[in-house]
């Protein structure tokens, strides 16, 4: 598989007001040197606690937020350096599905208009062909033809997400950034939408960046997974490697927090404790050290670089090679 998206050293900081009147604004490093690749047809999961920078990363890729620095190569083209016209054109290939389908749908437009709008904007269809294509898209995502003239408020959350997906598909994108696409939905509906996204990937050869805080969902959807903590990627591996042999203590703690649907089984290891530190003033050394059960003196002083642990498995921990042994000695 060829590389479709390559991101290197992406950074974004926001200026935020200080909590004292008259004090200078502070810098919140939301995305702090993120690098990863996604191959064509692959699904990369981006996971981490709320506020870790994963949604900001997704928006930076499409330049819905402007990066401070770093490169974004999409299909060997430099997205970060594109002008307005080039960017509008490439957004046909790079689309986003949002967490809250209701707020991303115009309540005054009918479903047919909402799904057909991108066809008009990108001049992909005219006249009667627009309605024909919209009806075909509605069928693909499991909406009935009688839904064409209805308004978004007449639908359930799952149906609204189907409308959002149909609108995204209208421009035949290659990459979809799905930002928490099922987290606002009931559990039974989540499974339907996840299955729909997988079916569409197979049919249209789509590539996904799937952003979620839920490692349970990520396991079902993703080929590889990147774990973010305080704006940085701390572990990246195949789903198989990450779920069976995590080598960063933060990943291990996140996995321990995933509920087991079996009352006979109990967690063997400690659940992640403590608050996520402020990205305005992150801890020295390894940012995870105040919450890490394996922290040692070096962890308070030196930030560990993301380094190869095994083939295709990278981790930013001074003790990546020993995390498995620590785990066994604690159990
Ligand atoms: Fe824990 Fe140290 Fe590894 Fe950071 S570098 S995750 S504190 S063991």
pLDDT tens-digit readout, 152-190: 999 999 999 999 999 999 999 999 999 999 988 888 899
Angle CA 184–186–189, to nearest 5: 105
Ligand 1 pocket (Cβ < 6 Å) reads 248-249, 286, 288-289, 292, 294-295, 299, 304, 317-319
267 near 273, Cβ under 8 Å?
no
Q: How far is CA 206 from the centre of its chain?
A: 15
Is the pLDDT at 270 greater than 60? The verdict is no
Region of 158 on the Ramachandran plot (φ > 0 left; ψ -120 to 50 alpha; else beta): alpha
Instruction: List phi, psi (to 5°) of 129.
Output: -60, -30
| pLDDT grade for 262, boundaries at 50, 70 and 90 | low
The yes or no reply on domain 3-93+173-330 and CATH 1.10.287.130 is no
Counting ligand 1 atoms within 8 A of each CB, the residue from 233, 289, 301, 302 with the most, and so the one to mutate, is 289
- What are the extents of the domains in the chain? 3-93+173-330, 102-172
pLDDT at 271: 60
Q: Which of 235, 299, 301, 305 to mutate to test the pocket of ligand 1 (most atoms within 8 A of CB)?
A: 299
Measure the CA–CA gap between 256 and 65, rounded to whole angstroms. Answer: 33
Residue 290 burial (C-beta neighbours within 10 Å; 0-12, 13-18, 19+)? middle
82, 86, 94 from 90: Cα distances, Å: 9, 6, 7
pLDDT grade for 265, boundaries at 50, 70 and 90: low
**pLDDT band at residue 321 using 50, 70 and 90 as cut-offs:** confident
How far is residue 268 CA from its own chain's centroid? 28
Mean pLDDT to the nearest integer, 307-313: 87
């Amino acid at each position: 598989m060829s590389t479709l998206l390559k991101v290197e050293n992406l950074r974004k900081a926001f200026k935020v007001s200080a909590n004292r009147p008259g004090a200078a604004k502070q810098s919140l490093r939301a995305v702090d040197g993120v690098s990863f690749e996604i191959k064509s047809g692959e699904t990369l999961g981006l996971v981490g606690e709320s506020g870790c920078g994963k949604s900001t990363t997704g928006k930076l890729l499409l330049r819905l937020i402007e990066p401070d620095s770093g490169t974004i190569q999409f299909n060997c083209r430099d997205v970060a350096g594109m002008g307005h016209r080039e960017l509008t054109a490439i957004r046909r290939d790079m689309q986003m599905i949002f967490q809250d389908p209701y707020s991303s749908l115009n309540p005054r437009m009918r479903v047919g208009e909402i799904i057909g709008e991108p066809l008009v904007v990108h001049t992909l269809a005219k006249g009667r062909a627009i309605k024909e294509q919209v009806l075909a898209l509605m069928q693909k995502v499991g909406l009935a033809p009688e839904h064409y003239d209805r308004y978004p408020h007449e639908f359930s959350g799952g149906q609204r997400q189907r409308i959002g997906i149909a609108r995204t598909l209208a421009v035949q994108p290659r990459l979809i950034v799905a930002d928490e696409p099922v987290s606002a939905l009931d559990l039974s509906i989540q499974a339907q939408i996840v299955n729909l996204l997988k079916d569409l990937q197979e049919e249209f050869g789509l590539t996904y960046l799937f952003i979620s805080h839920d490692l349970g969902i990520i396991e079902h959807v993703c080929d590889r997974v990147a774990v973010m903590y305080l704006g940085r990627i701390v572990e990246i591996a195949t789903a198989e490697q990450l779920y069976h042999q995590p080598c960063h203590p933060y990943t291990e703690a996140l996995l321990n927090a995933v509920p087991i649907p079996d009352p006979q089984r109990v967690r063997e290891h400690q659940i992640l404790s403590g608050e996520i530190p402020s990205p305005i003033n992150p801890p020295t050394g390894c940012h995870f050290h105040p919450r890490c059960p394996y922290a040692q003196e070096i962890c308070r002083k030196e930030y560990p670089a993301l380094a190869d642990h095994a083939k295709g498995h990278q981790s930013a921990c001074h003790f990546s090679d020993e995390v498995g042994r620590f785990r066994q000695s604690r159990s």
